[in-house]
Structure 1
Amino acid sequence: MEMKMSIHGEIRSSAVAPVGELMAVLVLAVARTLGAGLKAAAGVGRAMERRRTLNELAGLDDHMLSDIGLTRSDLRDATASPMLSDPTLALAVRVNERRTASRLARAVRPS
């Protein structure tokens, strides 16, 4: 066992250093694993919240859906998306496409 003096004057054994490094590596690995698990759990939580929003939209009547630019088929298409994808994003894209098409149709109409 080799003894070394630090810059502060205390003596420490270099035999302990590899154990400390190993512990640091293990702690970091556990922290990364826990972080990845928490991130995955948060993703599942967000997906569940978005599906609840989709269910609330499905509870609206056709006239209310029309007021916000959606149809029943839009809701069915969004429901068919993979579980962890954002179905509300697909709905937002549909609404945006319809509004853009409507604006273009009004702009092209002869006066």
Structure 2
Amino acid sequence: MKKIIAAALLCGASLAQAAPTAPAHRCSAEAVKQATSLLTFHFGPDERMEIDTDVKVLAPIRNPANKKQSFDVLEVWGTIYKGQYRMHLIYAQLGGSCVLMGQEILEHASL
């Protein structure tokens, strides 16, 4: 029985390592910089501010001014002391450019 459990754990570990990771969005680095600016704008400079460098690509949204166009949405998390903030950075889909079209910030809290 112990051998079966050990084999299952080894298979699971190797599958987790073999799982392909999604390629980074071309604007990921720009989104992290913009998230830092967004938190600083709302709360001022604070040495306790941290921005997570893991950028999650969310489903694109339609451009309200032109339904034929879509915007890319990148999610970045940040913290200041005990506060957690989820930020969505919205970029135009323009080839190699990172044109910021919108941004939103929401404190992750339960009231």
TM-score by length of 2: 0.30
Q: Which has the larger radius of gyration?
A: 1
Higher strand share: 2
